[in-house]
C-alpha cells in the first residue's frame, strides 16, 4: 500500500503527523513550524523530514506533490480568550494555509481550531475550500471525548477534492 504524503503546517511538536503516521497509511514529507523549541522536537523525531520555518515564505515547489495538507492554524484571531480581531490580527494565517492548498491541490485538507472560530472566520474557510472544489465537513470534538478531564471544544474541518462537485456521502 502506498502511503499518502502529508504536509504538516503549524506543526507544533508533530501531533497531526504522529496520529496520521500511526495509522500506517501516511508519511509526513515536510513540516512548517516557526517556533524554535517545537522545531527541535520535530528534528529529533523526524530527522530526515524537512522543516520549513515560516508558512508565509513556504511555496508548493519547496515541498512537491502531497496528498494531504493538515494543520492547526493560529487560533488567536478567533479565540474567546483573546481580542477576536479576526482578519485584522497579524496572526490570521488561514490565507497562507489556503494559498498552499491552491498551489498543491492535495486530495485532502484537515484543519483544526478553537470553538470561537465557528462564529468568526469558519464561514470564510469553508467558502475558500468549497470555492476551490473541495467538499467540506466540520466537526466539533471536545477534549473529553478522547479522555481528557476538561471539555475544550475544537473545530475540525475535513475537506476532499471533488472536481465533480460530489458530496462526502457520494464519494467512493
Q: Give the active site residues.
A: 75
Distance CA 84, CA 149 (A): 26
CA distances from 7 to 27, 30, 40, 105, 168 (A): 9, 5, 18, 12, 22
| Gap between the Cα atoms of 98 and 66, Å rounded | 14
Output the CA angle 95-170-96, nearest 5 degrees: 5
Distance of alpha carbon 51 from alpha carbon 46, whole angstroms: 9
From CA 81, how far away is CA 119, in angstroms rounded? 14
Q: Are 40 and 3 a contacting pair, CB within 8 Å?
A: no
Amino acid at each position: 500500500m502506498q502511503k499518502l504524503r502529508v504536509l504538516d503546517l503549524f506543526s507544533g511538536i508533530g501531533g497531526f503527523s504522529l496520529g496520521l503516521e500511526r495509522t500506517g497509511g501516511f508519511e509526513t514529507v515536510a513540516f512548517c513550524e516557526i517556533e524554535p523549541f517545537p522545531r527541535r522536537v520535530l528534528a529529533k523525531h523526524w530527522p530526515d523530514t524537512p522543516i520549513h520555518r515560516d508558512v508565509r515564505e513556504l511555496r508548493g515547489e519547496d515541498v512537491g506533490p502531497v496528498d494531504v495538507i493538515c494543520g492547526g492554524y493560529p487560533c488567536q484571531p478567533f479565540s474567546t480568550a483573546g481580542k477576536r480581531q479576526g482578519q485584522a490580527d497579524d496572526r490570521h494565517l488561514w490565507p497562507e494555509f489556503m494559498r498552499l492548498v491552491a498551489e498543491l491541490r492535495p486530495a485532502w485538507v484537515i484543519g483544526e481550531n478553537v470553538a470561537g472560530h465557528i462564529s468568526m472566520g469558519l464561514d470564510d474557510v469553508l467558502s475558500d475550500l468549497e470555492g476551490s472544489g473541495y467538499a467540506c465537513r466540520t466537526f466539533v470534538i471536545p477534549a473529553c471525548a478522547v479522555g481528557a478531564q476538561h471539555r475544550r471544544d475544537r473545530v475540525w474541518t475535513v475537506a476532499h477534492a471533488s472536481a465533480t462537485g460530489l458530496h462526502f456521502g457520494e464519494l467512493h
